[in-house]
Structure 1
Amino acid sequence: MEIITSGRLKNTIKYLRALFIIGLILSIFFMLGILGVLAYAKSQGAPPLAVPQTSLFYASDGSIIEESHRGQKRYWVPLSEMSPTIIDATISIEDRNFYRHNGFDYKRIAGAAIADIKAMAKVQGASTITQQYARNLFLEHDKTWSRKITEALYTVRLEINYSKKEILEGYLNTIYYGHGAYGIEAASKYYFGKSANELSLAESSMLAGIPKGPSRYSPYENLEKAKSRQKIILNSMVSNGYITKKEAEEVYQTNLAFFKSEDLGRERIAPYFQDAVKKELLTQTNIDEKTIEMGGLRVYTTLDPKLQKVAEEQVAKNVNPDSEIQLGFVAMDQYTGEVKALIGGRNYEESPFNRVTQAERQPGSTFKPFLYYAALENGFTPSTELRSEVTTFLYDDGNSKYTPHNFNNYYANGTITLAQALALSDNVFAVKTHVFIGENSLVNMAKKLGVTSDLVNVPSLALGTSTVRVIDMVNAYGVIGNGGQKITPVFIKKVVDHKGDVIYEAEQSKEQVLDPNLAFVTTHMMTGIFDAKLNDYTRVTGQTITNSLTRQYAGKTGSTKTDSWMIGYSPQLVAGIWTGYDRDERITLTAEKQYAKKIWADFMEEAHTGRNVTAFKPTEGVIGVYVNPDNGKLATNACPISRLTYYVKGTEPTEYCMDHVDHYEEVEEKQPEEDPDKDKGWFKKIFDWF
């Protein structure tokens, strides 16, 4: 037995003390290093949990009309809207200790290191769900030390700042499942045509195996390998206590029905409308283009898919497919301003130029309702008479002349009423009215109604010679139709970000810009274009489509040599259409001149299917009386034609038409007899009754 000398003992104690001190120092440095990392991670704050997400665009019925993803479909859904089976399957195969570690599974790391050493190769991974999520957020997969250190710091930052639930939710929403599908919602829709909350255990166990190698384990790439991977996942779920062995065997034998959504080749819905929506997002919400495309937004639009389909069908039915004529159509709710249907051209792929929101064309006589509303404000009534005859007007201080002409050079060569002038679209009457009330009146009225284009203040403006946009014209008609409340076209109801927060919501002002009584009188005059009672030297402009209409509409046609318009509304919907050639070619074919009216009439009738038949409701400040349409005077029984016409109370005609009676006494006989009981007391009335 060797005896330890005091010297050797002292040396041993010395070495042990040194080792202890060195170990202590290293431990202190190690602890300081850990604290430093934690402090740094905390100081950096919470990293964003989201990566670029697919923005979804919804129609008013909740259906998806567009997915903006640039080839990468990404959706964000909360953990509560995922099937529990996909959560269990993912944790079981990817990170069974997820809820027990702080971001790094050290036992798993050690096991993986030993396995790699034995195999002399990288055969086993040890990344936790948090680490994988950090890698997805960092979006770079190069194998440099710099990237690995950054990934580790991201992992620490995630664990410090977020709960396990938030980390798991983010991971399942960002992991790649192949074929451009990022996140479980995109994968669920792509592979099975359903949302993540509808996944079965069989479907979940299949999807959970794909992220390990999407090119190898996608059932579309290799179903045999995908099934093999599914079996591994089911066994891991058995080992981890999520399911029984019997359940695993039954699930494995289940035949899955796959649904490859891209193969459906879904046609893009309302592309011109979608462009208008994205433009409004940029201009009205201050959301940048990158966020619109890949910000995971939920954009709830005003589009009514049924009305959009009706509009497209009527265009296809009425327009010769061989014709090169173009068109712009839009339908709106005149009370909310919500755009329900929009067609910006014949073929979006050939020409994405939007003829509703971008093109400016001469509106022709569709401008006249604005003029005649202004005339009513200036003392005119539907019975106001002016002569319809060739007239030359001087303007620009007498330096210029203008001679308007009626269609086909037909004139009354006598007086007609304002109500007739609107229904017949008499140009001379319009210019006379324009000059009489002051040419600024029409410009101011058009601006008040929302027309944004520059208007040239000349006599011919009464005939719509300044160019305007279709959307502005239809919106302006909507203001008249809703009783004079200002509206602006609305394409977006609200926008929700990927967190579920509402970041934009449309609001309309309740500003009353027109007199409700005058607006109703104007509306009722506009019903005259469909009423043959107003025929005079020519027919009312809507007579060719009158037989197609089954309810009351107010509207106006308009035409120039290169443009054809029809705009009108019911008590429930306003719609308008322009047809013409992009390069201002003349519309020479008779059939092409009728396109606008036919499409409008067929659309309105189809759009109102199932809706109650309602007439325009008179306001309290108007009164309806029967007049002779030819002179605007009160009709008698002798008048061959009479038409109910509305006036602001106090402006209705008081003179009876004498054109069809021999003497005045006959008119008096047709007036209501005086009530013989008018001045009798109540006692006398009861006595007479007995």
Structure 2
Amino acid sequence: MNTALKRHSQPKLSWWRKLLRCMLLAGVLFTSSALVIVTSAIVLEAPPIQVDQTTVFYGADHSVIGESHHGNKRYWIELEDISPSLIDAVISVEDREFYEHNGFDIPRIMSAIAANIKSGSKAQGASTITQQYARNLFLTHDKTWSRKLEEAFYALRLETHYDKEDILEGYLNTIYFGHGAYGIEAASKLYFDKSASQLTLSEASLLAGIPKGPSYYSPFSYPDRAKGRQRVVLASMEATGAITTTERQQAEQTEWELEPPGQLADERTGPYFQDHIEQLIESTDLNPQLMERGGLHVYTTLDPELQQLAEKWVELETPKDSDIQAALAVIDPHSGDVRALVGGKNYEESTYNRVIHAKRQPGSAIKPFLYYAALESGFTPLTSFRSEPTEFQTGTDGNTYTPGNYGEKYANDFIDLEEALAVSDNIYAMKTHLFLGPDALVNTAEKVGITTELDPIPSLALGTQGVRIIDMAAGYSALTNGGQSVKPRFIQKITDSQGNVLMEQKQETKQVLDPKKSYVLTDMMQSMFDLSLDSYTSATGASIAHLIDRPLAGKSGSTDYDSWMVGSSPQLTTAVWVGYDDNREMNHAQEGQVSKRIWAQFMREGLEDELKLAFSPPDGIVKTDIDPETGLLSSEECGPSRTIAFEAGTEPTKSCTDEMEKEAQDGEHRDQHENKLPEKEEKFFDRLKKWFE
């Protein structure tokens, strides 16, 4: 019996022995590997900890538009000359165990691994200051396990060959603080015009929070975000005992005295554009900190000559003695390449990029997207609605909406789509919007590249919801480009010092609209500059018509707070916005034409050396001379005519002379009726008289 039990237990014991041997073998291999890694870190020579190469930014013509001089324009400062508050702030928020670990913090790593496994991503990091320094000096910013292992190895090499003070000093002198400032001394001079040794607790805690997102937390561009990040840093300092609660509260309440950002413009071409390039790189694996290693070549889409002209006309046409702002975006409508960008009227006063980040009400500039949806629903350029003061029912609960035309001018008669677009009749737009249904305009705007979420409400037809300037330029490009949407492109590619491509962005186009309907709409949009348009009010582009010397299609827009002009030639699409950052009301009598003048002057000079091309119609388009009075085919007998583009099969087939003949016949019938009436009345009274006799 005992023998049987013994034989039965032998397989189980053998399994445990195998597991134990495997564990011992794994332990030996791990220990051996660790010894090899540590020995290699000790035996290999100390890695270099300074960089001095230059990263170069190129325009579309491959001319240099900006440089980042790593090492040459960086101020290296000794650790002992850096404010203790700054050192405490950085250690508290970035790596509290910096002086205790040997390059990497095992508990933090395990915690991050657990969090990433739970979330199914690699979003949460656990890099120490040493690891970050190693990554900035030697590695890419890919979130891969192989890169993490390399990072740990380089961190170990740094810890082996350098003192903690050397590592911290190097880190603080190379970390990126935004707006071209590398290192704490450069950042201190940039933001506060003082040495890093003179930083107060409030200033130090602000700067310590910036490297997490140099563009996102820029106190120049986003002071609210920077303030929130500062509170996080101060709370970390309080938690580590570096400051008291009273000191934290005082620092939070202290107002910053930032230097004006005038020094940021320096000699860069298109500073707003280049700031956005940095933001784009931040959002990819090529973090701007990678550029600290230097030697990169960033090829952009900017046209330096167009950029110069854009800045020139924004400066000349925008009032200087006012807080009013202006912004402009120029796109190649066929490729989506951004050729020029002006984020505000003065970069030295405000680095906030309104083209990319501001969401402003476009007013009537949204109407082309509405009228494209109308063409899809069967409208033609001659579809008519009555223009008159109108109260619109906006639901079943009795609510009403009563918009008006500018200056309260109405035709008090029927007007067609082309005329409504040229004079920007709001009543026609509202009737179209309600006829099509609430989602038609929303869907079209989304198709052409409007990225903000629009609500399908009645007033959307009059542009009462905010959109981005860059999106409006992209949206109008789709109309110009035969219905192909374009995604704005800023970077063509980035290469390293050896010419290896690190990142490349392809041009993205997609057919989203019908080419024929897009052309019909573009053809109608040229009417806003037509002084011959004899209507109840002038065309909205009449004030700049004298500056138009080539085929251009556009639409203006205005609200109480915004003024827009957006339009295209076959070669360029330009969107211009003017308004106040704080949404105060504009004086349209004095400021309402600024956006149009900027747009017209830029388009005229920017296209001066280009062929005066007409918009190219696709197959299936017919251009027909129309009598404006009747909306029928023109004839010499009917007077002046207008040439209008139609999709083949939707143009009128009757002549205005047919209408004249019909009116003549109707008039003749009326005359006969009127001539006979007295005779009948006489006979009636004669009969009545006889009846009484």
TM-score, normalization: structure 2?
Answer: 0.61
Structure 1 alignment gaps of length 5 or more: 1-35, 75-136, 139-145, 152-181, 183-262, 667-690
Matched residue, 2:601: 602
> 5 Å matches for 1:16-415?
52=51, 53-69=53-69, 72=72, 267-283=267-283, 285-415=284-414
d(CA) in 2 for partners of 1:504 and 1:418? 46
Letter in 2 for 1:58: Y
d(CA) in 2 for partners of 1:466 and 1:422? 20
The structure whose residues are more often helix, as a share, is 2
Deviations 1:237-285 (CA, angstroms, capped at 9, x unpaired): xxxxxxxxxxxxxxxxxxxxxxxxxx9x9533211111111112222x3
CA 1:502 to 1:404, structure 2 compared with 1: closer, same or farther past 3 Å? same
Deviations 1:285-307 (CA, angstroms, capped at 9, x unpaired): 32123114444321111111100
CA 1:519 to 1:42, structure 2 compared with 1: closer, same or farther past 3 Å? same
Match of 2:360, SS state, is: coil
Deviations 1:637-681 (CA, angstroms, capped at 9, x unpaired): 123321111111111112322598466899xxxxxxxxxxxxxxx
d(CA) in 2 for partners of 1:38 and 1:435? 72
d(CA) in 1 for partners of 2:470 and 2:507? 17
d(CA) in 2 for partners of 1:314 and 1:639? 44
Matched residue, 2:507: 508
Deviations 1:550-603 (CA, angstroms, capped at 9, x unpaired): 101000010111111000000110001000111112221523111111110010
CA 1:294 to 1:69, structure 2 compared with 1: closer, same or farther past 3 Å? farther
Matched residue, 1:585: 584
Give the CA deviation at 1:494.
Answer: 0.7
CA 1:37 to 1:646, structure 2 compared with 1: closer, same or farther past 3 Å? closer
Give the CA deviation at 1:545.
Answer: 0.8
Give the CA deviation at 1:327.
Answer: 0.9
Give the CA deviation at 1:430.
Answer: 0.3
CA contact (8 A) 1:626 1:634 kept: yes
CA contact (8 A) 2:299 2:494 kept: yes
CA 1:649 to 1:42, structure 2 compared with 1: closer, same or farther past 3 Å? same
CA 1:660 to 1:282, structure 2 compared with 1: closer, same or farther past 3 Å? same
d(CA) in 1 for partners of 2:159 and 2:360? 61
Q: Which moved more, 1:657-666 or 1:630-639?
A: 657-666
CA 1:588 to 1:149, structure 2 compared with 1: closer, same or farther past 3 Å? closer
Match of 1:356, SS state, is: helix
> 5 Å matches for 1:519-558?
519-558=518-557
Deviations 1:5-33 (CA, angstroms, capped at 9, x unpaired): xxxxxxxxxxxxxxxxxxxxxxxxxxxxx
CA contact (8 A) 1:383 1:631 kept: no
CA contact (8 A) 2:482 2:515 kept: yes
Letter in 1 for 2:278: K
Give the CA deviation at 1:349.
Answer: 2.3
d(CA) in 1 for partners of 2:374 and 2:396? 23
Matched residue, 2:472: 473
d(CA) in 2 for partners of 1:660 and 1:580? 48
Give the CA deviation at 1:509.
Answer: 3.2
Give the CA deviation at 1:346.
Answer: 1.4
Matched residue, 2:145: none
Match of 1:534, SS state, is: coil
Deviations 1:320-357 (CA, angstroms, capped at 9, x unpaired): 32122101101110111011111111121221111111
Matched residue, 1:213: none
Give the CA deviation at 1:71.
Answer: 5.4
d(CA) in 1 for partners of 2:607 and 2:343? 22
Letter in 1 for 2:508: S
Letter in 2 for 1:286: D
Match of 1:452, SS state, is: coil
CA 1:659 to 1:414, structure 2 compared with 1: closer, same or farther past 3 Å? farther
Letter in 2 for 1:588: N
Matched residue, 1:163: none
d(CA) in 2 for partners of 1:513 and 1:292? 38
Match of 2:277, SS state, is: helix
CA contact (8 A) 1:270 1:343 kept: yes
Letter in 2 for 1:552: P
Match of 2:371, SS state, is: helix
CA 1:590 to 1:70, structure 2 compared with 1: closer, same or farther past 3 Å? farther
Deviations 1:80-106 (CA, angstroms, capped at 9, x unpaired): xxxxxxxxxxxxxxxxxxxxxxxxxxx
Deviations 1:610-661 (CA, angstroms, capped at 9, x unpaired): 1111111111111110112344322121233211111111111123225984
> 5 Å matches for 1:639-678?
639-658=638-657, 661=660
Matched residue, 1:450: 449
Deviations 1:527-551 (CA, angstroms, capped at 9, x unpaired): 1101123331101100111111110
Matched residue, 1:568: 567
CA contact (8 A) 1:335 1:487 kept: yes
Aligned-pair Cα RMSD in Å: 3.2
CA 1:340 to 1:42, structure 2 compared with 1: closer, same or farther past 3 Å? same
d(CA) in 1 for partners of 2:660 and 2:48? 87
CA 1:622 to 1:148, structure 2 compared with 1: closer, same or farther past 3 Å? closer
CA 1:381 to 1:663, structure 2 compared with 1: closer, same or farther past 3 Å? closer
d(CA) in 1 for partners of 2:631 and 2:624? 10
CA 1:431 to 1:147, structure 2 compared with 1: closer, same or farther past 3 Å? closer
Letter in 1 for 2:484: Q
CA contact (8 A) 1:272 1:342 kept: yes
Match of 1:486, SS state, is: strand
Give the CA deviation at 1:392.
Answer: 1.3
Match of 1:539, SS state, is: coil
Give the CA deviation at 1:361.
Answer: 0.6
Give the CA deviation at 1:46.
Answer: 11
Deviations 1:99-126 (CA, angstroms, capped at 9, x unpaired): xxxxxxxxxxxxxxxxxxxxxxxxxxxx
Matched residue, 2:4: none
Q: Which moved more, 1:540-549 or 1:52-61?
A: 52-61
Give the CA deviation at 1:520.
Answer: 0.5
> 5 Å matches for 1:609-648?
609-648=608-647
CA contact (8 A) 1:383 1:633 kept: no
Give the CA deviation at 1:498.
Answer: 3.0
d(CA) in 1 for partners of 2:331 and 2:46? 44
CA 1:68 to 1:645, structure 2 compared with 1: closer, same or farther past 3 Å? same
CA contact (8 A) 1:417 1:631 kept: no
Letter in 2 for 1:55: T
CA 1:271 to 1:293, structure 2 compared with 1: closer, same or farther past 3 Å? farther
d(CA) in 2 for partners of 1:147 and 1:297? 24
Give the CA deviation at 1:393.
Answer: 1.2
Q: Which moved more, 1:571-580 or 1:341-350?
A: 341-350
d(CA) in 2 for partners of 1:539 and 1:441? 28
CA 1:290 to 1:39, structure 2 compared with 1: closer, same or farther past 3 Å? closer
Give the CA deviation at 1:382.
Answer: 0.3
Give the CA deviation at 1:470.
Answer: 0.5
Letter in 2 for 1:56: V
CA 1:38 to 1:590, structure 2 compared with 1: closer, same or farther past 3 Å? closer
d(CA) in 2 for partners of 1:434 and 1:147? 66
Give the CA deviation at 1:419.
Answer: 0.5
CA 1:516 to 1:334, structure 2 compared with 1: closer, same or farther past 3 Å? same
d(CA) in 1 for partners of 2:382 and 2:159? 86
CA 1:73 to 1:61, structure 2 compared with 1: closer, same or farther past 3 Å? farther
Number of residue equivalences: 451
CA 1:527 to 1:70, structure 2 compared with 1: closer, same or farther past 3 Å? same
Letter in 1 for 2:268: R
Give the CA deviation at 1:398.
Answer: 3.6
